[in-house]
Structure 1
Amino acid sequence: MKKWVCASLALMMLFGLMTGISKAAANAPTFVSVVMDGQKIWFPDAQAFVDENNRTLVPVRFVAEKMNAKVGWQSETMTVPIERGDQQIQLTIGENKVIVNGKEAAFDTQAIMSGGRTFVPLRFVSEVLGAEVKWDGSTSTVFISTKEDAEAKYDQWGRLMRTTDLPKNAKDYPYILDDMPNEMYELGYPYSNPERSKVSAVLYETIPEYNKRNVDIWMNRLKDFGALWLNVDYKTIDDNWAQALFATKMQNSNAELKYIQRYVDWVKENKIQIEGYLDPEPSMIFNDGFGADYVRSKFRIKFNSFKESKDLLYDTWFPSDETFDKNEWYEGVADIKMGTNVGGDWGSTLKVAPSASLFYNHLIKKVE
């Protein structure tokens, strides 16, 4: 895998370009995927994000531990000690400097605490931990490279592929990723027309619209949608949020906007607070033969506040017979429906379908 170096200034400019208007209007978080040595880092809770100054911040513990570093915490001084090989690193919350083996290095962004996790600027990863970094604006992904493997094979999104311990239906996919569990591949497909439906291996092989340029557009739209959909706060939600969510969806009229606005009213009345993220997988797309595409996506969600465990999410399939515990993370896999009302060269027009659901065809469990 090639190694990349990306200057901090270029990162700042690219992050500024990728911030969507709809998300800015609704104050939705801008989540960033992180891939290290070909494997996506599945952060258990706190996600990498872009701050108000268009700089990316990553949760230092999970990144550093992936690089075989030991990470501690000293609450009295709000300091994070890190040991990596012969490096002794001391990072302090609220300061834009770090001490490495007794020498001071400065950054233009402070280390911060959010959700009980310490976040550091991406420059910390490259300049202090010694990794090489690349930003891919087309997929909102940070690539961190610490080693090269000349024999390894990667997909067009820089992900490491595997050829052993394959899922039972491996032939349905163009390849199998090293960082994806088999249960994600083996989850059954949504209801479909058996004579016209197509799995992702066929779509990528036979239909020109399924190319990287179009798929990158779709994945970013799903990330934008998830950043709004799964992050709700009754204290701040307003019509800007409703308009922004509506803008991510495929519509023939403004009819759905009224339903979204009713949900906003319910969020306020029921004092709903939700946080989470949606991480779509570009190699897992299924066409149901009825004109819709489903993108298999990993998600995490936590319900922090509500009075009634009812319609907590804007989702027509939200389960009425399932109770979610407050302040507990749930994770799962879901097929998120997308569609278009454009014929011909439709690739750039695919958007989230009005009936998209986290609970229609899914797996979900509480994080232990």
Structure 2
Amino acid sequence: MKKNIIIRSGSLRMGGLERVLIEVLQTIDKEKFNITLIIDDDCGEDNIFEKDIPQNIKYYFLKSQKLINKTEYYKEKRKNIVYKLMYNIYMNFETFIMCKNMKKILKEIGKVDVLVDFDAGASKYIDKLDVGKKIVWIHNSIPKLKKKKSKIERFGKRLEKYDQVVAICDEMKEELQKIYPKLKGRITRIYNPFNFDRILKLKDNIDELDEKNRELLKNDYIIAISRLDTVQKDYLTLIKAFKIYSEYNNSKKLYIIGDGPSKVEIENLIKEHHMEDKILLLGRFKNPYIWLNNSDFFIHSSKYEGFGLVLVEAAFLNKLVISSSCPVGPTEILEDGKSGILFETGNYEELANILIKLEKKELIKELYVNNMEKSIYRFDKNYIIKDIETLVNNI
């Protein structure tokens, strides 16, 4: 008999977590499970991945775009004490609305065997839901994400309400066990699944590119791909390192693919370091693989990560990956520096020195690429989805 499964997550916007969600939905065996998808935010035109939801999966939104916009309005003005008060009121109201709508949907669906909270967004009200077993996915380093001790402890209390906690790498599992000893025996490591066949199909596809972008592909360039967010992504380190490197190679460019809240800040950093002709912000692309495939190598300079999806994607395309050794994910993906080059988080001088050594052939990128080629398939969706199905079946 099929199990009735609910998978909930925050949004269908363009993002790494959202891509993983779609990969799970498309790959999981529909003959074994009746799946319903529940998404918090209806973002209208920004529901980028809505069309990728399999047709046989019914889905619901918990919050209207109107409510989201209203909360965002007060968030942007919350330096004013009145607006801050209104923002807090609307945040609490959103939680109330989500819980209310979730209960309504659960009543419509009937018996639910397992609820998968894919981004821990339901943790505030999970104990109020009448469902069978509860699984929560953790996609980021909790100490780096929550920062304050009180918030870390509060989140731990919420995690205790779940039957199983999924960490997306071994380093994250160890971190969770150390922070939350009460969860011992309830934490499982399951890597994010990757559709390597899809990457192969898209790596030479230029349909999304205009004539200007097609010309840019012909340049000699290094690439970075991430959300433009300086809280998590350390673009200052990347820019400073690349400026030093440019003194040794004046022709190579740095392309940055992505969009996000810190775009203007990053543009200003590029101008401050007089690198406008060397570092180009190209914007967001649904197919980043054409850019990856034509690059020399890939750089990732995060302060912290959940996993680092793009590191695996770059490595699969036989690109040398250079990454900060930030928690959590990159060190494990690159096998402690065996299958890619790691540098100390925030150390722009070390990163610049790595780039210069590569230029001088003192570091041989093919050695790292060949090592990764031997282990890349540990992230293949066909292996990972079996782990997910086993967890849901045996809980």
Q: Same fold (TM over 0.5)?
A: no
TM-score normalised per structure 2: 0.26
